[in-house]
Structure 1
Amino acid sequence: MLGSQEMVVNEEKMVHRKSLKRNIKHRIWEYLIEKIIFILGITSVVIISLIFLFLFRSGIALFKDVSVKDFLFGSNWFPISVNPQYGILPLVTGSLLVTTGAILISVPIGVGCAIYISEVAPPKTKTVLKVIIEFLSAIPSVVLGFLGIVVLSSWVRITFNLSSGFTALTGSILVSLMALPTIISISDDALNALPMEYREASLALGATKWETIFNVLVPAASSGIIAAIMLGIGRAIGETMTVMMVTGNAAKIPDSFLTSARTMTATIAAEMGDTVRNGTHYHALFAVGIVLLMMTTVINLIADFVLHRGRREGR
């Protein structure tokens, strides 16, 4: 009897030792993983900070030769003329015009597609549509730009009886295609995240399916949909290759969507390779990048604020 008790005690000690070893190993692994994640996070912050520092240091040097007023409100961008002028108003106007057109096209289509995928489409159709949306987001911008040159610009020129189809409208249509996956995916996630009780309660009170969608679900998911729209705007305003290929690249303030325009991103991409390092033109392009960075940062902050406010209200 005594021997069996000693065996039980020894087995309990062995189990306790094994459990203690496992706990020690788990704690060591958790400690290492936490430190690795911390180091990676700090590294990414440092890298982004260095990028910002380099951008601001190179851009602010412009204002030794050009006043802030002439840069921000000047209506002429002639960096390689005899009397160079570095007014970015045509570039900002072109960027805003192309972005506005893209959002006017992509927001109704994107939100409508998200509603259909989330609330109306059968499961098989929903799967197919999601695959198509993912495929659309994977198309390189240069391919869309090439299609715009070959197909869309000709359609715009013939339809509106223009001398050239390389207009702000052409760029807006193509950029809207690039913003659609972001708007559709995030809006769909916002609708799917709503509790099923919202749908059941609305239907139980006698509302139709469409009344439930437009009067209950869309307002409840409005914060996520607005965040999707803001991120889509950020995607549109930061597009480079497509707009450089199809908007005509005329550095003038556009009169309408049917005239040529030039965006800030296209200007940086087109002119950076031809500048003299540390010259005025070189610093001007970095200053354009600073303005673009500020615009996209404001858009992302608004999207983040709206998204977090919606989550707090949901709680």
Structure 2
Amino acid sequence: MQNQNDDIRAALLRKSRSSKLERRGKFISWLCIAIIVVVVFAIFGFVAYRGLSTFFGTKVTLWNFLSKTAWAPGTTDASGVPKVGALPMIVGSFGVTLLSALLATPFAIGAAIFMTEISPRWGGKILQPVIDLLVGIPSVVYGFIGLSVVVPLIRHVFGGTGFGILAGTFVLFVMILPTVTSMTVSALRAVPRNYRQASLALGATRWQTIYKVVLRAATPGILTGIVFGMARAFGEALAVQMVIGNAALLPQNLISPASTLTSVLTSGIGNTVMGSLENNALWSLALLLLLMSLAFNLITRWIGKRGAMK
């Protein structure tokens, strides 16, 4: 009898096959998470190490890097300080990002309202395939179109070479429009239907309901979409490089050749020696890009938390 009870107790305490599989699955999941975390921190650490090397053992200061306008890392000025002023690229990056976001936002909101509030059936059939197609087009195709159509058009209308922030703005406008539109559509569809019904029951018109109820309720989601679009515009390299002119000069206007952080990186990183000041200066630009990406992510999370608190 005692042996039988011991056998029963051992059978009950023995781990089942499903329990072993569950523990194995948890281990694999935690291992994958740990690898992702290590890779992310390794990338941040490597870029920070290479980027901060510019400011150690040289006469370059962070203020000079952010405020000076001369970019020629292989040369020095009269005081012997290397010319690594990143201000022209910073201005160019923020210029094309902000202008493209300002241009894309009204079109994205209008398309999203049509797809969700005015004509959901026809809007989904007509606009959704167009948005999906725009998302799938490679950035080099956008760059070729901008080089063949946008740049000559700007040259014909405004004069000059046609290269500059304005050309980059039009190219990025088309590139980020699908992102902002898709996220705006999702935000509008997430608004509860009873909000609309309550507004209409109180005597509001359809447009009053859309403007004063639906759009206001979906504001956090719309702002998140705009920030995501800005993040993509800020990090875009190839398409912008093809139409902005790649001149490391402080832009005087929207139609003068300029450059962005990404365009200088892509054009110069293969022409420098690892460990040299020229190479470290480019890594400093990469670090600045990485910090801006982190800032965009933090802004997105902040908007999400603010929206959840309402």
TM-score between the two structures when normalised by the length of structure 1: 0.88
1:207 maps to 2:199: no
Q: Which residue of 2 aligns with 1:217?
A: 214
Distance 1:32 1:248, change over 3 A: same
Number of aligned residue pairs = 291
Q: Following the alignment from structure 2 to structure 1, what is the Cα–Cα distance between the partners of residues 273 and 180?
A: 40
Of 263, 266, 269, 1:269 maps to 266
Q: Structure 1 pair 27/121, CA: closer, same or farther in 2 (3 Å)?
A: farther
Instruction: Quote the offset at 1:201 in angstroms.
Output: 0.5
Q: What is residue 26 of structure 2 aligned with on the other side?
A: 34
Say whether residues 1:187 and 2:179 are aligned partners. Answer: no
Match of 1:312 in 2: 309
What is the match of residue 86 of structure 1?
84
Give the whole-Å Cα distance in 2 for the aligned partners of 1:71 and 1:82: 13
Letter in 1 for 2:50: S
Question: Could you say which residue in structure 1 is the equivalent of 2:280?
Answer: 283
Alignment-mate amino acid for residue 239 of structure 2: T
Letter in 2 for 1:166: F
Shift of 1:117: 1.2
- 1:26 shift after superposition: 4.1
One-letter code of the match for 1:312? M
Superposed CA RMSD in Å reads 1.6
Counterpart residue number, 1:9: none
Shift in CA distance, 180/62, structure 1 to aligned 2, threshold 3 Å: same
1:76 aligns with 2:70: yes
CA drift of 1:80 comes to 3.5
Mapped to 1, the partners of 2:282 and 2:125 lie a distance apart of 44
- SS of the equivalent of 2:74 reads coil
Give the whole-Å Cα distance in 1 for the aligned partners of 2:144 and 2:40: 32
Provide structure 1 residue ranges, at least 5 long, that are not aligned to the other structure: 1-19
- What CA deviation, in whole Å up to 9, does each residue of 1:132-168 have, x standing for no partner? 11110111111100111111111111111x1211111
> How far off is 1:31 after superposition?
2.8
- Give, as a single letter, the amino acid of the residue that structure 2 aligns with 1:266: S
SS in 1 for 2:204: coil
Deviation at 1:82, TM superposition (A): 6.3
Unaligned runs of 5+ in 2: 1-11
1:106 paired residue number: 104
The residue aligned with 2:7 is none
User: For 1:138-217, what aligned pairs fall within 5 Å after superposition?
Assistant: 138-160=136-158, 162-217=159-214
Change (3 A) 1:29 1:113: farther
The one-letter code of the counterpart of 2:39 is I
Q: Structure 1 residues 115 and 122, CA, compared in 2 at 3 Å: closer, same or farther?
A: closer
Once the 2 structures are TM-superposed, how far is the Cα of residue 128 of structure 1 from its aligned partner? 3.0
Number of the residue aligned with 2:43: 51
The more displaced of 117-126 and 246-255 is 117-126
Q: State which structure, 1 or 2, has the greater radius of gyration over its C-alpha atoms.
A: 1
- Range moving further from structure 2, 141-150 or 124-133: 124-133
**Identical aligned pairs, as a percentage?**
36
Aligned-partner residue type, residue 99 of structure 2: G
- 8 Å Cα contact 2:115/2:185 also seen in 1: yes
Give the CA deviation at 1:81: 4.0
> Judging changes above 3 Å, is the alpha-carbon distance between structure 1 residues 304 and 158 closer, same or farther for their aligned structure 2 residues?
same
The alignment status of 1:131 with 2:125, answered yes or no, reads no
Find the counterpart in structure 2 of residue 95 from structure 1: 93
Between the aligned partners of 1:35 and 1:203, the Cα distance in structure 2 is 53
Corresponding residue for 2:296?
299
- Distance, in Å, in 2 between the alignment partners of 1:242 and 1:139 is 12
Q: Counterparts of 1:215 and 1:82 in 2: how far apart (Å)?
A: 58
